[in-house]
Chain A
Amino acid sequence: MAPSPLASAILFRLGPLAITRPVVTTWAIMAVLTVVSWLVTRRLRLHPDRRQTVLELIVTGIMAQIDEVIRKNPRPFLPLLGTLFIFLVAANLSGVLPGVEAPTGKLETPAALALIVFVAVHYFGVRARGPFGYLASFAQPKLIMLPLNIVSEVTRTFSLMVRLFGNVMSGEFVIALVVALAGLFVPIPLMALEILVGLVQAYIFTVLATVFIGAAVDTFEAE
């Protein structure tokens, strides 16, 4: 029987905590992203060179996307959503490297990311409308929608998690099956497809997080 995609291998224990493989991969990705970010933002000039042009292209591109969805100043949302997108791209594509499993293909990492989005939605919502204004927004458009709105908060976070997990995990599973059935070089087209799926899923996760935050901070309807 194939190893369960719902469990992950424990590498070592830190006291009572079991440190699993996706956690170590996530640490490595975080370290790489931190070092690269530090290196590319070290000497920023008014007249950008090639490195800084690419950097500005990425940052302004993400900002334009956020701006199109939220239609507000995207600056307060850029640190969270930009980091989310860049981390997701790195994490989804890390599965292509030999010997590395994408951490988003295990259940814990998408769960943690979805939980971050869940908390961020309420944080931005309370900050934009005040605590009572935000709570009142759950009773929009009618009071009878209150239970549905509360349920949808939970289910959309759950589906955010399951979507990312299911896509990345099923891609890796299919590649593993094809390797076992057909041999070494046959799954290369599938791996190319997996790169596309990883990018699209990173984009979708970020856009959905943006849409949720945008709905939480949207003060237009409440008035």
Chain B
Amino acid sequence: MDVKLISILAAALAVSIGSIGPALAEGRSVAAAMDAIARQPEAAGTISRTLFVGLAMIETMAIYCLVIALLLLFANPYAG
């Protein structure tokens, strides 16, 4: 197989496998935050701010995968 084909496959694999973990993690954290807000509605402001920051941290993993995919597709050092 040539480098281009492998790069496209690797980009698709990077995004598809790399988004599984962050998706599960974001689901869990949102569920936990909903639970906390339902128990303690007066703390909703603090909880949602912390939730947003946490989601941003979790999402970073997925975005790293996206960047790897973009590098493979558009800035591949081996494609020549």
Closest to B66 in A: A166
Q: Please, how many residues of chain A have a CB less than 8 angstroms from a CB on the other chain?
A: 17
Across-interface contacts of B60 in A (CB, < 8 A): 159, 162-163
In the complex, number of A-B residue pairs with CB atoms less than 8 Å apart: 39
The answer to whether the Cβ of B39 comes within 8 Å of any Cβ in the partner chain is: no
- Interface members, chain B 23-64 (any A CB < 8 Å): 46, 49, 52-53, 56, 59-60, 63-64
Across-interface contacts of A207 in B (CB, < 8 A): 49, 52-53
B52 engages A200 (CB within 8 Å): yes
Closest CB of chain B to A121's CB: distance in Å?
16
Q: Given A5-B70, A6-B75, are A163 and B63 neighbors across the interface (CB < 8 Å)? A: yes
Across-interface contacts of B64 in A (CB, < 8 A): 159, 162
Across-interface contacts of A163 in B (CB, < 8 A): 56, 59-60, 63
The answer to whether the Cβ of A204 comes within 8 Å of any Cβ in the partner chain is: yes
The answer to whether the Cβ of B78 comes within 8 Å of any Cβ in the partner chain is: no
The answer to whether the Cβ of A53 comes within 8 Å of any Cβ in the partner chain is: no
Across-interface contacts of A5 in B (CB, < 8 A): 70, 74
A208 engages B53 (CB within 8 Å): yes
Could you give, for residues 61-80 of chain B, a 1 whenever the CB lies within 8 Å of some chain A CB and a 0 otherwise?
Answer: 00110110011001100000
- Interface members, chain A 190-218 (any B CB < 8 Å): 200, 203-204, 207-208, 211
- Interface members, chain A 35-78 (any B CB < 8 Å): 68
The answer to whether the Cβ of A4 comes within 8 Å of any Cβ in the partner chain is: yes
Q: Please, how many residues of chain B have a CB less than 8 angstroms from a CB on the other chain?
A: 15
Give the interface centre of A4, A6, A166 by most chain B CB atoms within 10 Å.
A166
Closest CB of chain B to A221's CB: distance in Å?
19
Across-interface contacts of B75 in A (CB, < 8 A): 4, 6
Closest to B74 in A: A4
Closest CB of chain A to B2's CB: distance in Å?
16
Query: What are 23 A-B pairs at a CB distance below 8 A?
Result: A4-B74, A4-B75, A5-B70, A5-B74, A6-B71, A7-B74, A68-B49, A159-B60, A159-B63, A159-B64, A162-B67, A163-B59, A163-B60, A166-B63, A166-B66, A166-B67, A167-B59, A167-B63, A200-B52, A203-B52, A204-B53, A204-B56, A211-B53
8 A-B pairs with least C-beta separation: A166-B63, A4-B74, A204-B56, A159-B60, A166-B66, A6-B74, A6-B75, A163-B63
Q: A4-B74, A163-B59 are known contacts; what are 12 more A-B pairs with Cβ within 8 Å?
A: A68-B46, A159-B60, A159-B64, A162-B60, A162-B63, A162-B67, A166-B66, A200-B52, A204-B52, A204-B53, A207-B52, A211-B53
